A and B are shown apart, each in its own frame.
Chain A
Amino acid sequence: GQQVMQIPQYQHVQEGEDFTTYCNSSTTLSNIQWYKQRPGGHPVFLIQLVKSGEVKKQKRLTFQFGEAKKNSSLHITATQTTDVGTYFCAGDGDYKLSFGAGTTVTVRA
Chain B
Amino acid sequence: SQTIHQWPATLVQPVGSPLSLECTVEGTSNPNLYWYRQAAGRGLQLLFYSVGIGQISSEVPQNLSASRPQDRQFILSSKKLLLSDSGFYLCAWREETGDGYTFGSGTRLTVV
- State the A residues within 8 Å of B (CB): 30-31, 33, 35, 41-45, 48, 88, 90, 92, 94-102, 104
Among residues of A, the one whose C-beta sits closest to the C-beta of B99 is: A48
Q: Which one of A42, A98, A99 has the greatest number of beta carbons of chain B within 10 Å?
A: A42
In the complex, the answer to whether B106 meets A42 with C-beta atoms within 8 Å is yes
Interface size on B, residues (CB 8 A): 22
Report the minimum CB–CB distance from B37 to chain A (whole Å). Answer: 11
* Chain A residues with CB under 8 A of B57: 95
Given A95-B51, A96-B34, are A33 and B43 neighbors across the interface (CB < 8 Å)? no
> Which B20-77 residues have C-beta < 8 A from chain A?
32, 34, 36, 41-44, 46, 49, 51, 57, 59
In the complex, the answer to whether A42 meets B42 with C-beta atoms within 8 Å is no
12 A-B pairs whose Cβ atoms sit less than 8 Å apart in the complex: A33-B100, A41-B105, A42-B90, A42-B106, A45-B102, A48-B100, A94-B97, A95-B57, A96-B46, A96-B49, A101-B42, A104-B41
Q: Which one of A90, A96, A99, A101 has the greatest number of beta carbons of chain B within 10 Å?
A: A96
Report the minimum CB–CB distance from B54 to chain A (whole Å). Answer: 15
Report the minimum CB–CB distance from A88 to chain B (whole Å). Answer: 7
Given A88-B44, A96-B46, A99-B44, are A45 and B101 neighbors across the interface (CB < 8 Å)? yes
Number of A-B contacts (CB under 8 A): 50
In the complex, the answer to whether A31 meets B103 with C-beta atoms within 8 Å is no
Report the minimum CB–CB distance from B35 to chain A (whole Å). Answer: 11
In the complex, the answer to whether B43 meets A88 with C-beta atoms within 8 Å is yes
A101 to B51, CA, bound (A): 25
